[in-house]
Amino acid sequence: MFGNPVKWLFFILTSYLALNVVVSMNTLLTRKTYIVQMDRSAKPEYFTSHLEWYSSKVQSVLSEPQEEGDADEEDRIIYSYETAFHGVAAKLNEEEAARLEEADGVVAIFPETKYQLHTTRSPMFLRLEPEDSTSVWSEKLADHDVIVGVLDTGIWPESESFNDTGMTAVPVHWKGICETGRAFQKHHCNRKIVGARVFYRGYEAATGKINEQNEYKSPRDQDGHGTHTAATVAGSPVRGANLLGYAYGTARGMAPGARIAAYKVCWSGGCFSSDILSAVDRAVADGVNVLSISLGGGVSSYYRDSLSIAAFGAMEMGVFVSCSAGNGGPSPASLTNVSPWITTVGASSMDRDFPATAMIGTGRTIPGVSLYRGQRILSTRKQYPLVYMGSNSSSPDPSSLCLEGTLNPRVVSGKIVICDRGITPRVQKGQVAKEAGAVGMILSNTAANGEELVADSHLLPAVAVGEKEGKLIKTYALTSQNATATLAFLGTRLGIKPSPVVAAFSSRGPNFLTLEILKPDVIAPGVNILAAWTGDLGPSSLPTDHRRVKFNILSGTSMSCPHVSGIAALLKARHPEWSPAAIKSALMTTAYVHDNTHNPLKDASATTPSIPYDHGAGHINPMKALDPGDLNYPAISVVFPDDTSIKVLTLHRTVTNVGLPTSKYHAVISPFKGATVKVEPEILKFTMKNQKLSYKIIFTTRTRQTIPEFGGLVWKDGAHKVRSPVVITWLTPLT
């Protein structure tokens, strides 16, 4: 029927190769956004501006237009960068990008990168709540001159957290503006929100035009994330703040007297590097003192990471930059934002919890957490049928995960359903169960989550439980013919011990780009944080959630980052002369590594002591950071190479005295199994303020260890304890 098979085979192969050629050509000619870093000093004198020079470079590599009216170089350039970074973002095909990278004056070219968001009690937990007017943290006029730039999803200006009552006039050095757009006008800025801008050209180049009917193409925040982070940084005090009655109290930011500048860089489809870079560049030119960036992408070399390069430029201009570490924990080496000039922030718990219980038919009460507050309440005097759709208690499957369309209403209607965590959002599982007719849900952690519990504002009665207890409940449901349970919700509880605890989701080190640079830098509250919320979305962020709240409780390193940003703003207000490095040093050298039971900080993923790859220098301690004693690069990480003949390594440090003019510090170093560590000199004697003294640390291998060793170096003067984490790593010899 097909005639000569050889002829048909030749025809198929020829067609296939032709198709591949067409696809390859289309790939080469498809335009994408590239960030072009330029050597600013290389501009020839005959160009009147750097932008004119950049444009000429782009124009010189453009392919011939295919038709008349095709895009010219003005259309190709979507951003120019002039302050923290130098260059442009341009739409180029692969051939054009390759040609441009070879041109004189071009330092590097980076393809567009997509970033993701790292989604009242914390001030008191951090001892920031002023008890009287003499508190060192009580508001002073100096606070009002510090401006924090928040790169996020925008801001909801009507929130009480952004009330500017009592604030002084906007600082004269501020050059920012209030951009207008749908549902956002100039009057939405005030003496608290001093600036608001939007950045979407990179996003639109990658995904198409923003649908302005579904999304605000303005600084207004419909996601909620940006409003929450901005309020955590510098929200004004709001009494009676709560989420559905939970966490009732006064909500305030870390630096309530500081100003906020909102830079909207994230949209419904993500956040793109060209937009982020433009926001950093613009924020530095506007005059921000601190940048808070609760988002991240993949990890690439420092010189190939546009955000890293821009953050370096911001740091050189005196701007402190803090970024979230990521929510990839407890997997090792899951960090993002690892550049040494960025303060990388992991997440920890506080001493506040939202307990709930699941009482099963055996009479056992299982502890858990929940933020459920709805009209449907399960009676604690009654037991309800309990069902688990999985086949065993250890291996989740689509039904056990309560994925959309997997629950049979005839099986689950009128029952409490056990759902495993994973794949879909936690609250969405409850919505699936609710739609199938379930009266409640028990959300069970799996091995990936361990025993860490995160509270959610569920849409039906629901309790989250740990992995071990979850297995127990699932086994009971699978082996008992008439399994039953009921759920109870116990409100808000304070004074939880131990705390803080490193959050299981908080991304971990080591920093594989540079083992000698210890990351994260510090941890800060990031679990169950109450802060302001958008008026456009319910607390669960689900479209089916029609509840509207003024405050929401969220967890993530996105929440811990603005805590550090706000503390940095306070330190900048109290010490205007301090550089970003000085602020970072103060935060790290005063961080603590013991919880409120006086035991080493624990790791929620394992209930064992955490290590510097989990908590960095430790948990922030703002009161101590105000008066740190000495300033220096605080983390000490030494790496012995695989050459076993190298047995001695020496590190050098220089410290600056910011304490009393005359002071004497003694060195105390932890013991290590694999090496002896000697500090020279062992005593530092300062005779004046801002005096610099140097010391060296000599590491001598005694017995090479197969895993890193952790300890610390503490300088003591009787009043201060200046602590640096110490990590020693031995690389495995090559065989």
User: Residue 460 pLDDT > 70, yes or no?
Assistant: yes
For residue 314, what are its two tokens? Answer: 């911001």
710 residue type, one letter: F
Has residue 121 got a pLDDT over 50? no
Contact 181, 198 (CB under 8 A): yes
Q: Is the pLDDT of residue 529 over 50?
A: yes
- For the chain, give the mean pLDDT: 90
Residue 141 has pLDDT above 60, yes or no: no
From the list 316, 320, 306, 236, the residue with the least C-alpha distance to 265 is 306
pLDDT in tens, 330-372: 999 999 999 999 999 999 999 999 999 999 999 999 999 999 9
* Long-range contacts of 594-597, Cβ-Cβ distance < 8 Å, separation of 24 or more: 595/497, 595/498, 595/499, 595/500, 595/501, 596/351, 596/497, 596/498, 596/499, 596/500, 597/497, 597/498
**C-beta of residue 558 within 8 angstroms of C-beta of residue 325:** no
pLDDT at 717 exceeding the cut of 70: yes
Distance, CA of 156 to CA of 239 (rounded, Å):
18
CB 128 within 8 A of CB 283: no
Q: How many CB atoms lie within 10 A of CB 454?
A: 24
Q: pLDDT tens across 61-117, in order?
A: 998 653 444 544 458 999 999 999 999 999 999 999 999 999 999 999 999 999 988
pLDDT range class, residue 394, cuts 50, 70, 90 = confident
In angstroms, rounded to a whole number, what is the distance separating the alpha carbons of residues 474 and 597?
33
Instruction: Show which residues are catalytic.
Output: 152, 225, 558
Q: Is the pLDDT of residue 19 over 90?
A: no
10 Å Cβ neighbour count for 376?
Answer: 11
CA separation for the pair 617, 720 (Å, rounded)? 16
- Say whether pLDDT at 375 is over 90: no
| Residue 699: band (very low, low, confident or very high) from pLDDT cuts 50, 70, 90 | very high
What value does the mean pLDDT take over residues 402-425?
93
- In this prediction the pTM is 0.91
pLDDT at 506 > cutoff 80: yes
pLDDT band of residue 23 (cuts 50, 70, 90) is very low
Q: How do beta strands 365-369 and 355-360 pair?
A: antiparallel
How far is 495 from 350, CA to CA, in rounded Å?
Answer: 9
Q: What is the pLDDT of residue 301?
A: 85
Measure the CA–CA gap between 94 and 32, rounded to whole angstroms: 8
What does the pLDDT read at residue 116? 87
pLDDT of residue 609: 94
pLDDT classification of 656: cutoffs 50, 70, 90: very high
pLDDT of residue 4: 56
